[in-house]
A and B are shown apart, each in its own frame.
Chain A
């Protein structure tokens, strides 16, 4: 059973995604910030991470910094870990910033997420990783 780390600052979103993923047969874990995710990644092994790129910084201001920081950390320490990122609609800046670090390709989901699309992308990413 694939184990997925959900990184999102919103409690409701994390809970719903975790619920949906487990209903779809995955094992899911949550992190509410980039720092929390880095800690979890250091302790447990995951097969995939979903990351909300825009999360509040320490001052509560939404920006890309923490999401990008997490992407960098994953690239440096877990280069084979597939990542799916969440962005705002038409948030080219976020996609571009993320692509500068890791190759996101089609592995991004715009909010509000389409659940079917979300699950499909996770399955595809896991499949690619296994075949790779």
Chain B
């Protein structure tokens, strides 16, 4: 009998786990074909992820440039399972999946505490709703290169793999965007998966069929075109899990400054560790925050992220939130400045419309403004664009104050 090192035992256990997971994915992919709506799919996906791997995270990656635009994964919930030896197209194909090659730079990975791991690939299994291809469920691999070699220290590097979802096409996404009750769906999913499931993006089953019928060299050529095709999915990806339910904004009663601040700070553990200044005086509170906008996405979400899509063209965005309380009018004024995008004059009147999209490759959810407006109005507040100077955009948000006694 062979003598196995601990590393070999661990490798075997994890690879077996990975095979089981992949087989579960294929089985799930077949079963979900009976779903008749996207809502049903979301629910099934959430349940599946919980049942299969316990948890993951919610992540959205912009397809055109693979930038992470939303991530709610939790580091200690990441799943460490082994990948393929190497990560060549051929070897992924050997597992019957579809490889999408992507690359995310180190700086972005650092944002998520993934160190110097390089995200290089994910494996997708298509899913259908009725007869329509709805999207794909994907395992996302952070692959430092060759995961498993004979070198024991290579094994330690491991890969991180998360479950992801990608919507199918721009038109499908557009239909979903217009019809789905995203806040409710995301709430249900958030409930299902708690906090984390990773979402990415998709693949096409017809492509898979093509791949099945072609030689691997031909497949490799197809892969070369993938990124081009994925650019069509920008809008789709923006759609996925646009918003999670935020306890702050679920509340219908007006907010007080102190509660708002308290809750923002709770949502801001990362920011607190960075540059974060807060100044109080008798009638106003000024929050001055300088941090990478990707981190902001974790926290402020709907209301305060309203401007983030407009602020992400620079690596370091600079946002200033000025909260002031006007005793007389009992109004909280939050002035939000975003840098990075210039909205054309003719589009300004439309920025709060649900179908407002800018022709841009900037990561971000361009429905944010519409939703932010919706949220603010739920609080009997209002949001107005109050100024634009070059690449700086300024909004004023007014929310009635809940007077503390």
Identify the A interface with B (CB < 8 A).
10-13, 15-16, 18-20, 22, 27-28, 52, 54, 56, 61-63, 88-90, 110-115
Contacts and interface: CB of A to CB of B under 8 A. Distances in A.
A18 B1 CA distance: 10
B252 interface: no
Interface in B138-157: 147-150
A19 B93 contact: no
A62 B90 contact: yes
Contact of A112 (B23, B86, B149): B23
B268 interface: no
A62 B216 contact: yes
B4 interface: yes
Interface stretch (B7-15, B67-75, B167-175): B7-15
Contacts of B4: 19, 22
A12 B19 contact: no
29 contacts: A10-B84, A10-B91, A11-B148, A12-B15, A12-B84, A13-B15, A15-B8, A15-B15, A19-B4, A22-B1, A22-B2, A22-B4, A27-B1, A56-B90, A62-B91, A62-B216, A88-B94, A88-B95, A88-B96, A89-B96, A90-B96, A90-B212, A111-B95, A112-B22, A112-B23, A114-B23, A115-B16, A115-B19, A115-B20
B85 interface: yes
B12 A16 contact: yes
Nearest to A56: B90
B18 interface: yes
A13 B90 contact: no
B16 A54 contact: no
B274 to A, nearest CB: 39
Interface of B: 1-2, 4, 8-9, 11-12, 15-16, 18-20, 22-23, 26, 82, 84-86, 90-91, 93-96, 147-150, 212, 216-217
A26 to B, nearest CB: 10
A112 B20 CA distance: 8
A41 B1 CA distance: 18
5 closest Cβ pairs, A-B complex: A89-B96, A19-B12, A112-B19, A12-B148, A62-B90
- Please indicate which of the listed interface residues A12, A20, A56, A114 has the most CB atoms of chain B within 10 Å of its own CB: A12
B337 to A, nearest CB: 50
B96 A16 contact: no
B2 A16 contact: no
Given A11-B150, A62-B216, A115-B19, 12 more contacts: A11-B149, A12-B15, A12-B82, A15-B8, A16-B11, A19-B9, A61-B216, A62-B91, A88-B93, A88-B94, A89-B96, A114-B23
A13 B18 CA distance: 11
Contacts of B22: 112
Q: Interface of chain A, helix or strand or loop or mixed?
A: mixed
Nearest to A118: B19
Contacts of A63: 216
B11 A54 contact: no
A115 B26 CA distance: 15
A10 B12 CA distance: 13
B148 A54 contact: no
Contacts of A52: 94
B82 to A, nearest CB: 6
A111 B12 CA distance: 15
A19 B8 contact: yes
Contact of A28 (B2, B19, B82, B84): B2
A18 B12 CA distance: 9
A100 to B, nearest CB: 18
Contact of B90 (A11, A27, A28, A54): A54
B216 A112 contact: no
A16 B93 CA distance: 19
Contacts of A20: 12, 16
Contact of B11 (A15, A110, A112): A15
A111 B16 contact: no
Nearest to A28: B2
A112 B21 CA distance: 9
Contacts of B9: 19
Nearest to A86: B94
B16 A16 contact: yes
Contacts of A115: 16, 19-20
A12 B85 CA distance: 6
B15 A16 contact: yes
Contacts of A54: 90, 94
Nearest to B82: A12
A36 to B, nearest CB: 15
A1 to B, nearest CB: 9
A56 B149 CA distance: 16
B1 to A, nearest CB: 6
A49 B330 CA distance: 80
